[in-house]
Amino acid sequence: MILNANKLSVSDLEAIDGRRVLSVSIENVIEKDKLNEIARMLDENSDIKIVVILDPAVTGSPDKLTNLQIVQALEKVTRLALLALSTHRLQNIDLLSGLTKLESFELKGFYRKDISLQPIRQATGLRELELEYGLSGRKQVEFVNNLGRLERLKVATLDLGQLTPNKHMIDLSVTNTLKQQHKLSALFPNLISFECYYARGIEAFDFLADLPVLQHLSIGYTKKLVKVPALANPLGLKSLCLVNTPEFADMEGILALHNLTLLQITEPVKIPAAAFERLQQLTKLSEVYVVFNNEEDDSKFAVLAEKRGWRLPPTH
């Protein structure tokens, strides 16, 4: 169950079993009585994700809390996403200093790029961190290096030369620039999932050959990828996602991934449409999404997918 707290009454919230709730979104301001019910749900289910849309221009009142005040009151939250969707830049997250139980934290939107993360430093159990514009500045890097249990990291820019090894890291996503990528395997030897968009700072993807347990690979928005990168264990790869990689032309490389269960190609590539019939050789393939240059080829592939029982990946 996904809730928008602003659209529900207090009595509506009172009737909801917190154990059935996946996430609760709150837009800028909320009544204290409603917030009490959300806190009650968190007592019943600590896995509820709280999503707060921030607008610093919005002010509260004696019976309403706004913006970071909302989160401050939900001290038991473990999964938190902040969306700064305003013409006023979010300057700090100081009011979050009392959150010690955070396990997952996301910050997106219009915020100060080098915003200090120190207010949540007491959340020593943080396992997931996503910053739309990080990592920016020495202090954000130090913050990440001090997260001894961090398992998942998603940032725009990452200089691996600034990081310390973390054997717990299993999922890394870099949405713009990756520097000193040759250090990836030494820093995160147990990386299972790697996502890289735009590939700025990368000339070749040969560094992926040093990741022994990689299972999920996603590369996007680059002309640098022309073939499946060499992998330490090709039979270990379970999913391959190519997002707008127009120069990719390696069907043989795909067919060598014998245990692939998911294939996603979101824009036409240089592989002839007829060659995609060969995907039938991948007997474990179950989820497929491929886009071609014309409707005729799209339709033909849809017939093949239906025949093989291939499903669309969850994102489509």
Structure token pair of residue 302: 């849809």
- What whole-number distance in Å separates Cα of residue 15 and Cα of residue 247? 54
pLDDT at residue 316, as a whole number: 45
Q: Does the pLDDT of residue 61 top 90, yes or no?
A: no
d(CA 118, CA 108): 17
pTM: 0.92
User: Domains in the chain, please, with CATH?
Assistant: 1-150 (3.80.10), 160-315 (3.80.10.10)
Average pLDDT (270-282) is 95
List, in order, residues 6 or more apart from 286 with CB less than 8 Å away: 261, 262, 309, 310, 311
* pLDDT over 80 (residue 60): no
103-152 pLDDT, tens digit each: 999 999 999 999 999 999 999 899 999 999 989 889 999 999 999 899 99
Amino acid 314: pLDDT: 77
Average pLDDT over residues 78-104: 93
Phi and psi angles of residue 162, each rounded to the nearest 5 degrees, phi first: -95, -5
Q: How confident is the model at residue 86 (pLDDT cuts 50, 70, 90)?
A: confident
Residue 38 is predicted with a pLDDT of: 96
Contacts with 10 (C-beta within 8 Å, 6 or more apart), sequence order: 31, 33, 34, 37
Asked if pLDDT for residue 298 goes beyond 70, the answer is yes
What the block records as the tokens of 78 is 């473990």
Provide the terminal-to-terminal Cα distance of the chain, rounded to the nearest Å: 20
Q: Mean pLDDT in the chain?
A: 94
Lowest-confidence segment of 58-67, 71-80, 175-184 by average pLDDT: 58-67
pLDDT at 58: 84
pLDDT score at 244:
95
Residue 14: its H or E element: helix 10-14
* 274 contact partners, CB below 8 Å, separation of at least 6: none
DSSP of 285-307, one letter per residue?
Answer: --EEEE--SSHHHHHHHHHHHHH
Single-letter amino acid, residue 263:
L
Average pLDDT over residues 77-106: 94
Summarised one tens digit per residue, pLDDT across range 198-230 is: 988 898 999 999 999 999 999 999 999 999 999
